[in-house]
Structure 1
């Protein structure tokens, strides 16, 4: 028999969903039968599978250790090593800076360094995340950046953080700004509205009548022939949206081999898109995540984007 105390990240979850997270190999029919026969109880009382767990509840499961091992399945060990660069940290959220060339999260197969694993390593070592205690929640990211896109990325330390940030993004209340260099002169601010579909096999997006609505506001900051430094207010967050939309109006992102002209060839030796997530503007927040209320988080462009724009400005 084992007992599990319901912590903050688990409250509000249905009992059957909680059980499936801690015993992923167990069938629902077996779990339901165990609940009916009082082999699984909450606070020593019989409940139904629809019971909503509360913080402090004690879930008792009267299974043998052999059965637990069978239903828990194999747990993957996290690789240890790097910490992310942290810009701001609260009880529920981490705002980090991702370098270009690093994945946002694991891609399966061979292990590669990624921001999610870096974040989990940091939280384990700090003591904010203890996998053997947290049975149903694993820290994760709320916004994803392509491998070669750098800048601000939001990590959720808790289920509350994940839920609330995702809600803000879904409702369009969290403003996300990027900076990039595009080919040619973008003469005025443009709001681009597209319907975008995706070819999963080629990992490429295209115009499609039944695709997802995609909206971005593109504002020229400075023009140095033949390139423009551009600020992007990303209203939606579709795959490759900025790269596709700028290319669709004849101003592909410098270095972009997928949507650029001549497969992104340029005199600056850049072989990937120069794109940086540089600013997050949070709305007024009350209650959970109030520490982020009306916060403006900025990460100035670094690395190749900074280098290339300096060279362009000097006429090199």
Structure 2
């Protein structure tokens, strides 16, 4: 009897095509067999059939049957070290603000990738796989390369499945702080629209069939006016993420007319070396974690 398999899309696989994901998991199977499994519905994402070019979202559940996996599974294989320098490992150990036997919370710096890739020999994932000497280390949520703040590291696949389910059900609460170009006069406002992920980024649409519903709540907490023009300056926003889509905050606030300082993808070329967006608060179950809002207390580079 052939085994049925279940997987949770982690931050490393977000945005990957489903056919490539399945080929990576089932290396001994041919692409024709994988395409056939997709057409028959033997491979499902979120309980539904998908086409081979479907792009995966973070924490989606994938079920697979009638395909043959390699004997050595991801859960059992020994981790091969990348030989990252000790001083690098020691530095990142200090970024852990909490840990127990199931998970750990990392305060990620900006301009650090979650995973290795073009131009980067390693990312946060590879660093902590080496620190804990385990291939089972996964991050349940991801932050963009430029974004700083809190991420949840999972020590076991069981906890990854648990926290991923809570994220899908919007039971993990996250707050951000950002500095944007322009003076926003409203004290509080909510952006609700639909986002579409494309080859070159995320775009805003009013089409609920084409895009995924995205909701973000904003509160203005500080403004810095230009000395010469009171309508020009920057605004500091406290942000409550109601839904968690890729590039949600960056795409929505830019479309609203106030791009984040340092956002070269959705903003303007302001020559800032840093993206002023940080996830400063994360909470689930009885756990609550918060770091200092570094964009305040005269630390903002206006």
Does the TM-score normalized on the shorter chain lie above 0.5? yes
Counterpart for residue 254 of structure 1? 261
TM-score (norm 2): 0.66
Rg larger for: 1
Instruction: Indicate conservation of the 8 Å contact 1:254/1:264, yes or no.
Output: no
Counterpart for residue 274 of structure 1? 276
Counterpart for residue 36 of structure 1? none
Instruction: Indicate conservation of the 8 Å contact 2:171/2:284, yes or no.
Output: yes
- How many residues were matched structurally? 226
Structure 1's 255 and 15: CA in aligned 2 closer, same or farther, altered over 3 A? same
**Unaligned runs of at least 5 residues, structure 1:** 1-13, 29-69, 132-137, 284-292
Matches for 1:1-316 after TM superposition, within 5 Å: 15=3, 17=5, 24-26=26-28, 77-81=80-84, 82-83=88-89, 84=92, 85-107=95-117, 111-124=120-133, 129=134, 138-186=136-184, 187-200=186-199, 202-207=200-205, 209=207, 210-225=210-225, 226-260=233-267, 263-265=268-270, 269-283=271-285, 293=286, 295-302=287-294, 305=295, 309-312=299-302
Q: Distance in 2 between matches of 1:308 and 1:256?
A: 21
Structure 1's 113 and 306: CA in aligned 2 closer, same or farther, altered over 3 A? farther
- Spell out, residue by residue over 1:159-211, the C-alpha distance to the aligned partner (whole angstroms, 9 max, x if none): 121011111111111110110101222222111111011221x2343325111
Indicate the RMSD between aligned Cα atoms, in angstroms: 3.1
Instruction: Indicate conservation of the 8 Å contact 1:102/1:114, yes or no.
Output: yes
- Spell out, residue by residue over 1:27-56, the C-alpha distance to the aligned partner (whole angstroms, 9 max, x if none): 59xxxxxxxxxxxxxxxxxxxxxxxxxxxx
Counterpart for residue 44 of structure 1? none
Q: CA deviation at 1:87?
A: 0.9
Q: CA deviation at 1:264?
A: 3.2
Instruction: Indicate conservation of the 8 Å contact 2:204/2:255, yes or no.
Output: no
Instruction: Indicate conservation of the 8 Å contact 2:214/2:248, yes or no.
Output: yes
